[in-house]
Amino acid sequence: MDTNPITGLLKACCFVLHVLVLIVVTPIAQHILNGTSVSLPYAVMYPCNSPFAELDSDASIQIPGLFGAALQPYNTILSTEGKDPAGRTLKIKIGESLFPEMNLKPGTNPVDFTTGIAIADTTSLLNNFIVPMFVEGKTVKLFIDVQNITLTVLKFIKVPNLKMNKVLVCHGSNTTQPKEIPDKYCKPESVDPLSPASADLGVLEQVTQEMWARRLSRDQGQGYQMKCVVEEGTTVFAVEEGTTIV
């Protein structure tokens, strides 16, 4: 244990300096996120047989100002609009997804990624999002909400606990040919039979049977291709799930 008072004083000064920097930088970082524009010129959702889906996204993210930013992987809540029994419009959660790390420069950034979605309610996803776009030919809203995101500015200052709320308008473009959806998206909690955890069982026959069962139960499905852009004149604000939207 270091009892040197000078060392302790230096650590205290560094801590205070760090807090002061965060106090100054946090509003700037939040302002950057508030002014950031997100659109999905091309996105395809492949629903699994389980309550999960694969999302292939070619996103376009525009960062305002003179400084870029790096986003650590962040959990994203995806919601859309629905109706309550009285006919009022509500914000309804359809799923959650972990978006990857993003290193963004000032201006427009093409960000292409594939990730999984944990579906919150399959019925809501179909009735309020998929069917209106691909059966009824309507446009629907997609709310992208992040409650806790860490933004790195000036390449070394990490600012945690920021929020990001975006509202997009989506329309269906096409449906794709069915494809095999990887288990990491459809069965994210399953254990790979070739992993060390399964190998410890020491039963070759069991591993073979599990691999064969997985092959027979592969998720295959068509994709729903959509385009989501910022609605003209939209004011970005946070709305809690289940809240009436006037």
Domain segments of the chain as ranges: 10-177+222-230
For residue 83, pLDDT beyond 60: yes
**Third-level CATH fold of 10-177+222-230:** Immunoglobulin-like (2.60.40)
Top-confidence residue, 65 or 48: 48
pLDDT value at residue 4: 62
pLDDT band at 236 (very low <50, low <70, confident <90, very high): very low
Average pLDDT over residues 41-60: 94
Contact 185, 44 (CB under 8 A): no
pLDDT tens digits, residue range 112-125?
999 999 999 999 99
Top-confidence residue, 196 or 220: 220
**2-6, 117-121, 212-216: which has the minimum mean pLDDT?**
212-216
pLDDT tens digits, residue range 166-187?
999 999 999 999 899 999 999 8
pLDDT value at residue 85: 84
Pull the structure tokens for residue 20: 């002061």
On average, the pLDDT of the chain sits at 78
For residue 168, which of 67, 51, 76 has the smallest C-alpha distance?
A: 76
What contacts 24, CB < 8 A, 6 or more positions away? none
Cα pseudo-dihedral 144, 150, 152, 158, rounded to 10? 160
Which residues, listed in sequence order, are joined to residue 112 by a DSSP beta bridge? 58
**How many Cα atoms sit within 13 Å of 94 on the Cβ side?**
24
Cα 156 from chain centroid (whole Å): 24
- The 10 Å Cβ neighbour count of residue 88 is 11
Contact 97, 117 (CB under 8 A): yes
Place of tokens 């069965």: 187
Average pLDDT over residues 140-161: 88
pLDDT value at residue 163: 93
